[in-house]
Chains A and B, each alone.
Chain A
Amino acid sequence: MNHLPQAWGRPRDDVYGAYDQSHFQMGGPNQHTQSPIVTGTSVVAAKFKDGIVIAADNLASYGSLARFTDVKRLRKFNDQVVVGFGGDVSDMQYLDRLLNSLDIRENYGSDGTPLNAKNLHTYLSKVMYKRRSDFNPLWNHLLIAGLDGEDKPFLASADLLGTTFSAPTLATGFGAHLAQPILRRSIPDEAAVPNVSREEAVLLVKEAMKVLFYRDARSMDKYSIAVVTKDGVELKQDEKLESQSWAFAEGIRGYGTQVN
Chain B
Amino acid sequence: MTSIGTGYDLQNSVFSPDGRNFQVEYAVKAVENGGTAVGIRCKDGVVLALEKLITSKLLKPEANKRIATVDRNIGVVSSGLLPDGRHFVSRARDEAADWRRLWKGPIPTATLANRMGSYVQAYTLYSSVRPFGITAIVGGWDSEADVPVDGEVGSGPKVGSGGKKEGAHGGPYLYMIEPSGLYWGYYGAATGKGRQIAKSELEKLNLSEGNLSLEEGVKEAARIIYVAHDDNKDKEFELEMTWISSVDGPTKGRHEEVPKEIREEAEKLAKKALEGDDDEDDEEKMEE
Contact = CB atoms under 8 A, between A and B. Distances in A.
Interface string B86-112: 000000010001001000100000000
Contact of B97 (A93, A104, A107, A109): A104
Interface stretch (A10-18, A66-74, A242-250): A66-74
A100 interface: yes
B150 interface: yes
B65 A110 contact: yes
B55 interface: no
Contacts of A107: 69, 72
B2 interface: no
Q: Dominant SS at the B interface? A: loop
A255 to B, nearest CB: 29
A97 B106 CA distance: 12
B61 interface: no
Interface string B187-229: 0000000000000000000000000000000000000000000
B96 to A, nearest CB: 8
B72 A96 contact: no
A110 B151 contact: no
B64 to A, nearest CB: 11
A71 B153 contact: yes
B97 A97 contact: no
A60 interface: yes
A93 B153 contact: yes
A92 B152 CA distance: 10
Nearest to A40: B153
Given A108-B93, A110-B257, A97 B153 contact: no
Contacts of B154: 60, 68, 70-72
B257 A96 contact: no
B31 interface: no
Interface in B120-167: 150-155
B100 A101 contact: yes
Given A97-B104, A101-B97, A108-B93, A72 B153 contact: yes
A70 B155 contact: yes
Contacts of A97: 100, 104, 150-151
Interface in A11-42: none
B72 A104 contact: yes
Contacts of A100: 100, 150-151
A93 B257 contact: no
A94 interface: yes
Contacts of A93: 151-153
A202 interface: no
22 contacts: A60-B153, A60-B154, A68-B153, A70-B154, A70-B155, A71-B153, A89-B153, A92-B153, A94-B151, A97-B150, A97-B151, A100-B150, A100-B151, A104-B71, A104-B72, A104-B97, A108-B68, A108-B69, A109-B65, A110-B69, A110-B256, A110-B257
The 7 closest A-B pairs by CB, nearest first: A93-B151, A110-B257, A71-B153, A96-B151, A70-B154, A97-B151, A97-B150
Given A68-B153, A108-B69, 15 more contacts: A60-B153, A60-B154, A70-B154, A71-B153, A71-B154, A93-B152, A96-B151, A100-B151, A101-B97, A104-B97, A107-B69, A109-B65, A110-B65, A110-B69, A110-B257
